[in-house]
Amino acid sequence: MNLAESTVMNAIEHSMSKNCYANIVLAGPIGVGKRSMATGIAKWLNAVTFDKTVSVFSEEDYLKDYYSISLNHFGGKDIDSLGAYSIRSYLDDANSFVNEEYEHVRIPRDLEKEPQKVENIYGLKPKGKVKIFTGPHAIWLLKASKEVEIPNAIYIFMNADLKKCIQRRIQNSIMIPDMPEDDATSWEAYYDYVIAENERYILPQMKMADIVVNIDL
């Protein structure tokens, strides 16, 4: 467990000590490691509670069709802006996720008492006690917009060196422009552009967060 995960988990433990489960909202730059953080929290909670207690809702699942996302002037997809995501669908589904999220559960039949041909029936039960929302704009979408009410929410902003986040995006080929590797001037201009986009759309969420976690990439 790293320091960042420890900080978040201490906040969750505090809420559990008050006999309630916190719901977690993780926001931050693309490439900062939000999904890894969510996975770490889920594994930890499942271990300490001996049960499946965590469900994850990801903004990245609402990224528009590749050809519907605007190109920036570097020829890359402009995925730092809100315009790259299907926001209405995201907000509608987030409300359902909070209020009506269920999973199918197999219920074995007693074949001596119920000698039907079907061996199992399927019921519905609430899925997860803790819900984790992740995404570059998650705090803005779920707190500032006031369209989704999340009980016992802890809003966490994951902060890191933006150049390192962009380098991780390049390593993972996350919708980057097709520029020659040795074109240092163009890449520096691209970094400056992405940093400006983050300052416009993503970094302001730090002021709305309950906790700001600094990530060492």
Report pLDDT for 49.
Answer: 62
Where the chain has pLDDT below 50, the residues are: 111-112, 114-122
Give the integer Cα–Cα distance in Å for 214 and 202.
15
Report pLDDT for 179.
Answer: 82
Q: What is the pTM of this model?
A: 0.81
Question: What are residue 153's DSSP bridge partners?
Answer: 23
